[in-house]
């Protein structure tokens, strides 16, 4: 089968880099095996593809991608970007002790870039205002019912996310059965109607891409940032409007409880251009006020 290898700079953490792309441990479109192998099923501009990604330590730490399906050439061409080759972590400078400690421990983290907007936008809409577990259930149920069978030898149960045309066919009772309210379903259907224009955001700079996504009602700064963190691998795509993130950032950097977006922006001003990376490192540092945030709406801890 066609394959491609990429030699990452040392250190490199494949699991931390790709984990943000997985919507729960039972995500039908993205899965990590016990041996560290990753499987991704995507609908690319060239067609569906199944991608197997493994870290071959015996070959000097090379990352190997093997692909099946019509989207094989596209997926392998994009493989280095997906693995974070376009990211520039050396541009980051820690300004707080907790960030410096986390960076030393998680220096292999890179920001993945998928280049696929709808693939990240739909699950981000599903995550609006509900618990992470509920959003993952909705994503899993909808993919199991409307996703296509993945090409090649993907693990049983994996699915290609529905195309824009297929999302339009989901009846109202299926949205309801998945726990998706009318406003989120409507936002996804609107995005489906403008999918070609939204996909253009994958080639835009972050400010323009944010504006393109937020043009649609139901897509606000929280949802746009969550999607573009994955689509662009944008180091400054900080999530705003999150219930817990300002509290977590504030506690980690100051020890104070409570916090607002405005206070978080002030604390992260030293990281201008790298605020999303700084936030990820802060959360990976583990100095958090309440572990129960894992189960609360808008929590990003589960994706780190």
pLDDT of residue 58: 57
Residue 168: predicted pLDDT: 93
pLDDT value for 241: 95
Is 122 exposed, middle or buried (CB count within 10 Å of its CB: 0-12, 13-18, 19+)? buried
Distance (Å, whole) CA 198 – CA 224: 11
Residue entry with tokens 């972050």:
206
pLDDT at 57: 59
Q: Which H or E run includes 117?
A: helix 117-126
Residues 6+ apart with CB under 8 A from 103: 92, 94, 281
pTM listed for this prediction: 0.92
Cα dist. 13→6, 34, 98, 203 in Å?
13, 15, 20, 26
List, edge to edge, every strand of the sheet that includes 38-44.
3-6, 62-68, 47-56, 38-44, 30-32
State how far the Cα of 283 lies from the Cα of 154, in Å rounded to an integer: 32
Instruction: Give, as one character, the DSSP assignment of residue 42.
Output: E
pLDDT in tens, the chain (304 residues): 899 999 998 789 999 999 999 999 999 999 999 999 999 999 999 999 999 999 975 556 899 999 999 999 999 999 999 999 999 999 999 999 999 999 999 999 999 999 999 999 999 999 999 999 999 999 999 999 999 999 999 999 999 999 999 999 999 999 999 999 999 999 999 999 999 999 999 999 999 999 999 999 999 999 999 999 999 999 999 999 999 999 999 999 999 988 899 999 999 999 999 999 999 999 999 877 865 544 445 444 434 5
């Amino acid at each position: 089968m066609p394959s491609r290898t990429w030699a990452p700079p040392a250190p490199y953490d494949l699991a931390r880099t790709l984990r943000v792309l997985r919507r729960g441990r039972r995500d039908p479109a993205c899965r990590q095996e016990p041996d560290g192998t990753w499987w991704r099923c995507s609908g690319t501009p060239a067609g569906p593809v199944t991608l197997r990604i493994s870290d071959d330590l015996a070959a000097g730490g090379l990352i190997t991608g093997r692909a099946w399906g019509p989207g094989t050439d596209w997926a392998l061409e994009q493989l280095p970007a997906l693995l974070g080759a376009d990211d520039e972590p050396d541009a980051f400078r820690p300004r707080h002790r907790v960030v410096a400690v986390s960076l030393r421990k998680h220096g292999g983290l890179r920001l993945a870039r998928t280049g696929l907007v709808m693939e990240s936008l739909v699950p981000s809409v599903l995550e609006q205002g509900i618990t992470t577990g509920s959003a993952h259930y909705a994503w899993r149920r909808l993919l199991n019912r409307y996703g296509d069978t993945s090409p090649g030898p993907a693990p049983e149960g994996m699915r290609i996310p529905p195309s824009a045309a297929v999302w339009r066919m989901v009846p109202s009772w299926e949205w309801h059965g998945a726990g998706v309210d009318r406003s989120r379903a409507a936002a996804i259907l609107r995005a489906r109607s403008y999918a070609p224009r939204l996909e253009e955001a994958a080639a835009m700079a972050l400010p323009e891409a944010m504006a393109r996504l937020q043009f649609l009602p139901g897509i606000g700064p929280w949802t746009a940032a969550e999607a573009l963190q994955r689509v662009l691998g944008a180091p400054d795509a900080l999530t705003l409007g999150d219930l817990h993130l300002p509290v977590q950032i504030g506690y980690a950097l100051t020890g104070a409880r409570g916090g607002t977006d405005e206070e978080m922006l002030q604390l992260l001003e030293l990281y201008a251009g790298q605020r999303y990376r700084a936030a990820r490192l802060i959360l990976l540092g583990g100095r958090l006020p309440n572990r129960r945030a894992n189960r609360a709406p808008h929590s990003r801890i589960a994706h780190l």
